[in-house]
Amino acid sequence: MAAGNRDGRLGVWLIGAHGAIATSVVHGLAGLVQGLLEPVGIATARGPLARLPLRPFPALVLGGHEVRRGSLAAAAEELVRHRVLSPALVAAAAAEVAALAARVRPGLPDAPAADDPALLPAAVALAQAPGAEQSARLAADLEAFRAAHGLERVVVVNLASTEAWRDEDPAWASRSAFEDALHRPGALPASCVYAHAALAAGFPFVNFTPNRAASIPALRELARARGVPHCGDDGKTGETLLKAALAPMFAARALKVLTWQGYNMLGNRDGEVLADPVRREAKIRHKDAVVRAILGDDDVHTAVQIDFVPSLHDWKTAWDFIHFEGFLGAKMSLQLTWAGSDSALAAPLVLDLVRLADFAAARGEAGEMAHTACYFKAPLAGGSHDFHAQFRALLDYAERHLAPR
């Protein structure tokens, strides 16, 4: 297909298909297509990015993997109860939701307890298999989805829960080491197996989670070898977005940031998972690195706290305290309180990234999509944590590709 061919249909495969973000994606997409929603929050629908020949929303077909029992209907009901989705939108999207529900396949849980009653038995069973077999099963699902719907391409998006932190592993360092590890049960995080399945099958991969996924050297190598574009890690939806947008101001004004404390409260499934210190490790590392990197100052005192606060449900709330020194030794402060719906912030970024990954694949780009750095807490490439520089890089990319071809 020539870049910009907007005629075919595009598959969007959501890992974590019953989660709050996926639920928001399917409802939001239906609302957009039916003209019930404005494309608020979707950067590719506005300004210069809107002039890129990206895949139109009606061409998107959704499918996905899931490891937990439950249903999209239950997830939607919960989002209605917590006032993220309106009952009217849920009613309007019923057909699209049913269609997606029918396409959801059991996925691969990371290090599941064998007797966890919340998990699908088929998912637990898959977790017992060697990695090579897992990857093949997941890839087969993707292929079947493509074939069943006559899709021109499938973009795979990882929206799974945060995995337990693992230190660097020699098995991640190269394709060959990785392929060996695929034959040792339990050697690889589920996210890496998913990424392997997608990339090996030639499908663009978007890692919206803090999980390792395609960020490890072995899979970066695979993506380049297979000529597949991918991007990640860890969608930048709230407090970290603010950090990346504000820290450059302090640097430009030569103000000396002494302390940047960030307190995050979250009440949905994501927050519940992150209540486990081993799981929140990656996320905290990503959130914490941004300020130091932008300020170019290793002495700044930073901390990131994530707390599970069930009453907030999807409405995450963060308080940042920035203590800084100005001229004459004067100590000053800035406080920020950010309160927003986690899912409503994330879902439009997923739609942006799917369209950009599709476009990059159509253009024949391979490897890390550096121009998407503005979407991630820990971008795989892009060279800066300054949000404005990152966004300018995206605009420059768009500028370069607006020319008629």
Could you say which residues in the range 248-267 bind its own copies, by CB under 8 A? 248-249, 252-256, 258-259, 261, 263, 265
Considering beta carbons, is residue 127 or 393 the nearer one to its own copies? 393
Residue 134 vs 302, nearer CB to its own copies: 302
Angle at 264 between CA 260 and CA 270, to 5 degrees: 140
Helices and strands in the chain: count of H runs, count of E runs: 14, 11
- Interaction of residue 208 with its own copies, rule CB under 8 A: no
Residue of 311, 237, 271, 240 lying closest to 83 (CA atoms): 311
Give the residue, chosen from 1, 94, 278, 339, that forms a contact with its own copies under the rule CB under 8 A.
Answer: 339
Q: From 27-35, 102-110, 138-146, 177-185, give the range in contact with its own copies by CB under 8 A.
A: 27-35
Please tell me whether the peptide bond between 233 and the residue prior to it is cis, using omega within 30 degrees of 0: yes
Look-up: residue for tokens 């476009």? 359
Question: From the list 18, 27, 137, 220, which residue makes contact with its own copies (rule: CB under 8 A)?
Answer: 27
275 binds its own copies (CB under 8 A): no
Interaction between residue 206 and its own copies (CB under 8 A)? no
The answer to whether residue 33 forms part of the interface with its own copies (CB under 8 A) is no
CA 310: distance to chain centroid? 22
Within 347-386, which residues bind its own copies (CB under 8 A)? 347-348, 374, 386
First to last CA, the chain: 13
Residues 384-403 as x/- pattern, contact with its own copies by CB under 8 A: --xxxx-x------------
Residue 344 binds to its own copies (criterion: CB under 8 A)? yes
Does residue 326 belong to the site contacting its own copies (CB under 8 A)? yes
CB neighbour class for 170 (10 Å; exposed up to 12, middle 13-18, buried from 19): exposed
- 108 lies in the binding site for its own copies (CB under 8 A): no
Report whether 108 contacts 123 (CB < 8 A).
yes
Listed ranges 68-76, 176-184, 211-219, 246-254: which one lies at the site for its own copies (CB under 8 A): 246-254
Is 382 in a helix, a strand, or coil? coil
Partners of 303 in the β-ladder: 261
